């Protein structure tokens, strides 16, 4: 009703707060409520006094600093708020929230140079990535591309990761500075070394080159990535390369990409079970039916395949395995046209099979004899068949030898 009653109310309220604080001196919530109540009745000097008393008890209580500064800002006491933020950042420099709010306040009151100084002080502590992002966004709002560029380059020095360089390159892309963006990507490849061989980074680089219509550069980059990255880390990259070849490659490029994808799938399956001979047949057929047959690649597949000799000495387990040798020999004769090597394959195959002790394969002897006959080596064929009948006489071998002589 009047000033006397107001004084009594204030006295009573303060007494209540002081009584609570006397019993729970370290209860920061009570200190904050006390200060906020003083501010609500425009007793700012008393509110500051309460906050300062609380600081002496626990200056590391983060909400205390926030409430103190917010009180000053809410009531447009900018200079007092600056004083609070300065002290907060000095005492607790690792609390990002203080720096964020301090810089934002300066930006809101139009003190852009002060805000920039705050960010610079903050960056000396090498904070996390979000802090650098905030600094970049501030300079972007000021439309100062040169300063943004300088900040991003410093950011890459502090956090030398592929993602850091991608951020810098994206900024240049956004500003249509494509040459600068490419130089950022190339710098990342040069400075990061093996760390730059990361699937997402390489795909991003390739997408940038496609956007610039540099399809040949993108193709070379993707092939380089497929050569360097481990098979287990190429899932997205292979699919992206296949899509790229569908859109921008020639027919031969597309076939090569499909071949590479199928090859990778077979390698993964063979890594699980190298004794699955059907997979080796598929692999060899894949290489033999390629647009441009790579003789050495096919030989490598067959050599790897025949190295997986069955562990059981049972004929049933060896049937598919022997066909690998036969196909290998046919490949050397018909496709590679290497007669000497074909004969070596047959010789090695005969040495592998345990003819006398366990079992033999008439088909293998007959195939070798037919090869010699095609080479017009009748005496060699007779000698081979005589050896076969001596080591493992079978009806098929007798019939074939009789037919030959007829």
Count other C-beta atoms under 10 Å from residue 62's C-beta. Answer: 13
218-227 CB burial, b ≥16 within 10 A, e <16? bbebbeebbe
Residue 99 in domain: no
pLDDT, tens digit, for every residue of 321-367? Answer: 888 888 989 988 888 888 999 989 888 988 888 776 677 888 888 88
Residue 234 in domain: yes
What secondary structure letter does DSSP report for 358? T
Residue pair 302/327 in contact (Cβ under 8 Å)? The answer is yes
E-strand stretches of 242-388: none
- For the chain, counts of helices (H) and of strands (E): 22, 0
Q: Which two tokens stand for residue 107?
A: 């930006």
C-alpha angle 170/172/176, rounded to 5°?
110
Q: Can you tell me the distance from the alpha carbon of 329 to that of 368, in angstroms, rounded to the nearest whole number?
A: 9
What's residue 357's pLDDT?
66
What's residue 116's pLDDT?
93
Q: Can you tell me the distance from the alpha carbon of 165 to that of 142, in angstroms, rounded to the nearest whole number?
A: 22
165-204 CB burial, b ≥16 within 10 A, e <16? bbbbbebbbeeebbeebbebbebbbeebeeebbbbebbbb
What's residue 197's pLDDT?
81
Q: Is the pLDDT of residue 83 over 90?
A: yes
Residue pair 116/100 in contact (Cβ under 8 Å)? The answer is no
Q: pTM of the predicted model, to two decimals? A: 0.60
Range(s) of the domain holding residue 231 = 168-272
Torsion angle of the four alpha carbons 32, 34, 35, 39, in this order, in degrees rounded to the nearest 10 = 130
357-384 CB burial, b ≥16 within 10 A, e <16? eeebbbebbbbbbebbeeeeeeebbbeb
Torsion angle of the four alpha carbons 144, 148, 149, 154, in this order, in degrees rounded to the nearest 10 = 150
What's residue 406's pLDDT?
92
Nearest to 228 by CA among 201, 198, 270, 208: 198
Residue 181 in domain: yes
| Structural domain count, the chain | 1
Residue 70 in domain: no
pLDDT, tens digit, for every residue of 150-199? Answer: 999 999 888 888 888 999 999 999 888 999 999 999 999 888 887 778 88
Residue 298 in domain: no
Q: Between 290 and 267, name the one with better pLDDT.
A: 267
Judged by phi (left if over 0) then psi (alpha if -120 to 50, else beta), residue 338 lies in beta
pLDDT > 90: percent of the chain: 27
pLDDT, tens digit, for every residue of 368-387? Answer: 899 899 988 899 889 988 98
φ/ψ of 333, rounded to 5, equals -80, -45
Residue 336 in domain: no
| Of 1-10, 47-56, 83-92, minimum mean pLDDT range | 1-10
What's residue 286's pLDDT?
84
Ranked by mean pLDDT, the top range of 103-117, 237-251, 252-266, 283-297 is: 103-117
Largest separation between any pair of C-alpha atoms in the chain:
139
What secondary structure letter does DSSP report for 359? -
Q: Between 229 and 83, name the one with better pLDDT.
A: 83
Residue 318 in domain: no
Q: Is the dihedral of CA 43, 49, 54, 60 positive or negative?
A: positive
Residue 284 in domain: no
Q: The CATH number of the domain where 221 resides is what?
A: 1.25.40
């Amino acid at each position: 009703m009047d000033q006397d009653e107001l004084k009594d109310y204030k006295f009573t309220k303060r007494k209540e707060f002081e009584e609570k604080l006397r019993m729970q001196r370290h209860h920061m919530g009570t200190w904050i409520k006390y200060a906020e109540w003083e501010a609500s009745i425009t007793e700012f000097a008393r509110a500051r006094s309460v906050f300062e008393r609380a600081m002496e008890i626990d200056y590391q209580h983060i909400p205390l600093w926030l409430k103190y500064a917010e009180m000053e800002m809410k009531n447009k006491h900018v200079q007092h708020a600056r004083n609070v933020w300065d002290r907060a950042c000095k005492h607790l420099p690792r609390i990002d929230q203080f720096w964020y709010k301090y810089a934002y306040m300066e930006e809101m009151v139009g003190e852009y140079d002060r805000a920039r100084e705050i960010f610079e002080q903050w960056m000396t502590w090498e904070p996390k990535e979000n802090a650098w992002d905030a600094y970049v966004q501030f300079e972007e709002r000021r439309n100062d591309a040169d300063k943004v560029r300088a900040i991003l380059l410093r950011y890459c020095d502090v956090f030398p990761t592929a993602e850091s360089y991608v951020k810098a390159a994206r900024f240049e892309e956004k500003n249509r500075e494509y040459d600068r963006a490419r130089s950022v990507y190339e710098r990342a490849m040069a400075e990061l070394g093996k760390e730059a061989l990361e699937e997402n980074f390489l795909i991003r680089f390739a997408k940038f080159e496609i956007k610039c219509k540099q399809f040949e550069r993108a193709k070379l980059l993707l092939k380089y990535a497929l050569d360097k990255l481990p098979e287990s880390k190429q899932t997205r990259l292979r699919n992206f390369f296949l899509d790229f070849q569908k859109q921008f490659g020639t027919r031969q490029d597309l076939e090569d990409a499909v071949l590479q994808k199928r090859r990778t799938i077979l390698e993964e399956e063979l890594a699980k079970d190298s004794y699955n001979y059907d997979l080796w047949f598929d692999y060899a057929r894949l290489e033999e039916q390629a647009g441009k047959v790579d003789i050495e690649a096919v030989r490598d597949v067959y050599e790897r395949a025949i190295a997986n000799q069955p562990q059981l000495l049972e004929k049933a387990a060896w049937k598919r395995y022997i066909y690998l040798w036969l196909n290998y020999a046919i490949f050397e004769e018909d496709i590679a046209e290497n007669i000497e090597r074909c004969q070596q394959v047959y010789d090695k195959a005969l040495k592998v099979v345990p003819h006398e002790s366990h079992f033999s394969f008439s088909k293998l002897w007959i195939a070798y004899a037919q090869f010699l006959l095609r080479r017009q080596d009748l005496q060699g064929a007779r000698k081979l068949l005589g050896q076969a009948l001596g080591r493992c006489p079978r009806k098929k071998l007798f019939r074939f030898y009789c037919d030959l002589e007829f």
